[in-house]
């Protein structure tokens, strides 16, 4: 729905949308489309035939897109809110919609990244422990250095139900970041993961499996919070 809204309010598709809605804008002018126009468009194109049934939810979504700066308000028309989408998407943004997370929420982020997140098992003494990591290539898993240093990592890991051998792993000497190289290649979705240093009150998300390996197939936890530190080395979401 977010992608449909972005395309609908984009100046690039304004003429096409106006034709569907049978609106005749002034020549060489972009017509300001409203949230009510969007509901009518969803119905007329059969993208959501009963769009009016979800009136409140759809209008609330558009308002969240405005609040995070994705849509720009252009005022009102007949008490309806009008919007534009004026940004030029980068190639990375076109390949992954992860940047919509601030508007949609943590569940959307978990949906996108769950296929890339893996559980890393090991032992501390005789006790079985686990940590989490995320694919950044077909054979490289990015994790935290404390995951690799606090336990003896198992030589054989189970990823997506398949066994694979750990070829190499290494921790960064100064920040809480490490990597694991595995023997077999796995398909993964591009995650747009970058190294970042959040500022105070930046919105952050922490994701991972439970620390108890027997619960490895349980739902991945995704917690939202705010950074409280001036400096915090981490793996961030771009």
Domain range summary for the chain, segments of one domain joined by +: 2-88, 110-237
Q: What is the CATH number of domain 110-237?
A: 2.40.10.120
Contact 82, 74 (CB under 8 A): yes
Cβ-based neighbour number of residue 96 at 10 Å: 15
Q: φ, ψ for residue 78 (rounded to 5)? A: 55, 45
Chain length of the chain: 238
Of the pLDDT bands very low, low, confident and very high (cuts 50, 70, 90), residue 191 is low
Using the 8-state DSSP alphabet, how is residue 185 labeled? -
Residues 6+ apart with CB under 8 A from 228: 200
Give the chain's mean pLDDT: 81
pTM of the model: 0.66
| pLDDT value at 84 more than 60 | yes
Residue 237 is predicted with a pLDDT of: 41
Q: What is the pLDDT of residue 159?
A: 83
Mean pLDDT of 62-70: 90
> How many CB atoms are located within 10 Å of the residue 131 CB?
21
Instruction: Give the phi and the psi of residue 61 in degrees, each rounded to 5.
Output: -65, -45
Report the top-level CATH class of 2-88.
mainly alpha
Task: Give the pLDDT band (50/70/90) at residue 236.
Answer: very low
User: In terms of Cα–Cα distance, which of 19, 35, 21, 48 is closest to 84?
Assistant: 35
pLDDT at position 139 over 50: yes
Taking the C-alpha atoms of residue 36 and residue 206, their distance in angstroms, rounded to an integer, is 36
| Residues linked to residue 83 through DSSP beta bridges, in sequence order | 33, 73
How many percent of the chain have pLDDT more than 70?
A: 83
């Amino acid at each position: 729905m977010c992608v449909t809204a972005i395309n609908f309010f984009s100046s690039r598709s304004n003429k096409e949308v106006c034709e569907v809605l049978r609106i005749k804008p002034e020549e060489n002018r972009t017509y300001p489309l409203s949230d009510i126009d969007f509901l009518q468009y969803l119905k007329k194109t059969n993208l959501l035939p009963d769009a009016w049934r979800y009136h409140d939810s759809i209008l609330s979504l558009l308002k969240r897109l405005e609040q995070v700066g994705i849509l720009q308000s252009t005022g009102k028309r007949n008490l309806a809110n009008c919007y534009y989408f004026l940004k030029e998407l980068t190639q990375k943004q076109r390949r992954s919609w992860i940047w919509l997370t601030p508007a949609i929420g943590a569940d959307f982020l978990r949906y996108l990244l769950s296929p890339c997140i893996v559980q890393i098992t090991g032992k501390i003494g005789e006790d079985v422990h686990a940590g989490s990591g995320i694919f950044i290539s077909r054979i490289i898993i990015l994790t935290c250095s404390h995951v690799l240093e606090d336990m003896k990592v198992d030589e054989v890991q189970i990823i997506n139900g398949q066994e694979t051998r750990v070829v190499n792993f290494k921790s960064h000497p100064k920040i809480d970041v490490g990597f694991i190289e595995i023997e077999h290649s796995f398909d993964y979705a591009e995650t747009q993961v970058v190294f970042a240093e959040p500022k105070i009150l930046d919105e952050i998300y922490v994701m991972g499996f439970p620390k108890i390996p027997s619960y490895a197939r349980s739902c991945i936890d995704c917690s939202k919070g705010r950074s409280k530190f001036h400096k915090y080395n981490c793996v961030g979401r771009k």
